[in-house]
Structures are given as C-alpha cells and as structure tokens.
Amino acid sequence: MFGARLQAAMDEHGPLCVGIDPHDHLLEAWGLPCTVEGLREFSLRTVTELAGNVAAVKPQSAFFEQYGSAGVAVLEETLAVCRVHDLISVLDVKRGDIGSTMGAYARAYLDPASALAADSITASPYLGFGALEPAFELAQTHDRGVFVLALTSNPEGAEVQHARRGEAVEGFGDTVAGSIVGQVAQRNLAASPQGLGRFGLVVGATIGSAARELGFDPSACGGPILAPGVGAQGAGISELIGVFGADAITANQVLATTSRAVLGAGPDGLQAAAKALNLSLKQVG
C-alpha cells in the first residue's frame, strides 16, 4: 500500500523529499541552457543522483509545462526514470476541479496506463473536498497516494484556509483547513484503519503555531504529511516539531520537502547535500 511504501522509504532513506524545480537560475548555475535540453539534463541527473539517498522526489509540473509539449515529454521521462530506480514520485500538480474534468486529471496522473502516472499527486480541495472523489477512487484502485492541500505557508492562503465554516468537524474545529484534515482522516480510517493511509496532507513547515491556534492537529489525519519549506525557506527540525510534534516526526509521518537547499549544491553536490539535510532532520529532541 502507498502509505506503507512511503513510510518504509522514509525509514530506509530518511524523511527528505527533494523538489525537482528547474528554475532558470538553477539551470544556469548548473551550466545548463534554459531549454528543453537543459531541463532534461537537470531533471534526469537529479533523479539518478538522489535515488537511494532520499525517500521521494517531487517534480513541479509547472516548470515542465512552461516548455510546452516537449517539456511535458521530459516530465514523462523523469517519472519513468523514477520508476526504474524505485524512487517514489510526488507529482506536484495541485489539480482540483469538478466532475468529468477531475476524472480526466485523475486518469492522467494516477492511472498506470498514462505516461504521466506518478506514485502520488498533490490536489487542491478548494472547489469542494468531495470534488476530488475521482482522484481518491483511482488512488485506491491503483495503489497511489493523494496529498490534499490543507494549510499552506503562502500568506494569501489564510483568507480561505483559516476561514470559519460555522459547522465543526469533530476533533478538527470549524475552519476550512480543519475540515480538510478531518475529512482526510475519515477517509483514511475507512480505507485503511491500520498503518499510514494513502491520503495525506500538504502542510507548510513554516506555518508555526497556526494549526494549534485553529484548533486541530494535522498529524491526526492518519496519512503522510508533505511539509514544504525545509532548508532555504527557513524550516529545520525544530520548526517541524513545532508544527507537527515530535511523535509525528519520529514515526516518519512527515515527508520534509526541500528544493534549493539540495539543488543549489549543483550536480556534483546533490548526494552530499541530501545526506547532510537528511541527517539533520533525524536529530529529534
């Protein structure tokens, strides 16, 4: 099952997930052109260097899509190389729609018949949590994972995520974000009452006390938590413990996500940077 697979990878390789975010300045720092060829070299080198050293990688779809169909072809190849190396992929697409459109997105990213299929995806529930049902169904059918956006670190997110609904979800309060966490917890409990579920959350590692102040614990979701913001954005082990608690960290429920802190080390420094950051993230207490 996806949750168990991810937890086993974290147990073996550490809690780090590296985002594959091919910004122009990173391509240039690597001595690569800002072209499809540079994109391909950057992405495939990152996967091959990090396989066996991190639990997962997170390709950001937008950086590939900006190159058009040729960029999407590189994304397909990147995901294929992840599969060859048995490296768990979290495809950061943040898709969220309704009806047949959401169904098409789900088939694109979660059906193994698709060239864009990943081990897991990020999804936005802000057209309604129930609108993500096609993704949940396909993830269940094909043993994939879905990370649902709950509490993001961007300041603009608070106006929706912190809003009060006027109706509480038991144990998770009455905010929009709390409702998302509660509904993910209910789904995991129904689908996989034992162990780490396949349905997770995206919760920023730099949100500080926001979850506590809103009246819920993200780690109660019963699934993995993708926590962007580690490294260059300022979060380390103390910030992760502050947001999620030491128990969630030591249980390898939290997949700590970084990009620049590893990618900025250049193609020859990827492994060393990942190992150093992984080691620092294991220092709980």
Residue 282 is a catalytic residue: no
Q: 223 phi and psi, to 5 degrees? A: -130, 180
Q: In this structure, which amino acid lies at residue 180?
A: I
User: Does residue 234 or residue 230 have the better pLDDT?
Assistant: 230
Rounded mean pLDDT, 86-109: 97
Q: pLDDT: is 216 or 193 the higher one?
A: 216
**DSSP labels for 176-225?**
HHHHHHHHHHHHHHHH-SSS--SEEEEE-TT-TTHHHHHT--GGGGSS-E
What is the distance between the alpha carbons of residues 148 and 118, in angstroms, rounded to a whole number? Answer: 15
Which CATH number is 2-280's, of 3.30.70.1400, 3.30.1490.190, 3.10.129.10, 3.20.20.70? Answer: 3.20.20.70
**pLDDT above 70: percentage of residues in the chain:** 99
How much is the mean pLDDT over the chain?
94
Per-residue CA distances from 69 to 57, 73, 74, 75 (Å): 22, 6, 9, 10
Contact 228, 257 (CB under 8 A): yes
Which band of pLDDT confidence, cut at 50, 70 and 90, is reported for residue 39? Answer: very high
68 band by pLDDT with thresholds 50, 70 and 90: very high
Q: Is the pLDDT of residue 285 over 70?
A: no
> 């309060």: which residue's tokens?
173
Q: Is the pLDDT of residue 222 over 70?
A: yes
Instruction: Spell out the domain ranges in the chain.
Output: 2-280
Cβ(7)–Cβ(196) below 8 Å: yes
CA distance 108 to 61: 12
- The C-alpha atoms of residue 4 and residue 75 are separated, in whole angstroms, by 26
Question: Among the options 58, 94, 275, 282, which is catalytic?
Answer: 94
**Mean pLDDT to the nearest integer, 123-130:** 96
Q: What are the start-end ranges of the E strands in the chain? A: 16-20, 56-59, 88-95, 120-123, 145-151, 164-169, 173-175, 199-203, 225-228, 254-258
pLDDT of residue 233: 75
Judge whether residue 194 has pLDDT over 70: yes
Whole-angstrom distance, CA of residue 143 vs CA of residue 140? 5
Q: Which residues pair with 254 in a beta bridge?
A: 225
Of the candidates 276, 236, 229, 233, which has an alpha carbon nearest to the alpha carbon of residue 257? 229
Q: For residues 210-235, give the mean pLDDT.
A: 90
Q: Flag whether pLDDT at 231 surpasses 80.
A: no
Q: Note the Cα 176 to chain centre separation in Å.
A: 20
Q: Give the amino acid at 241.
A: I
pLDDT for residue 43: 98
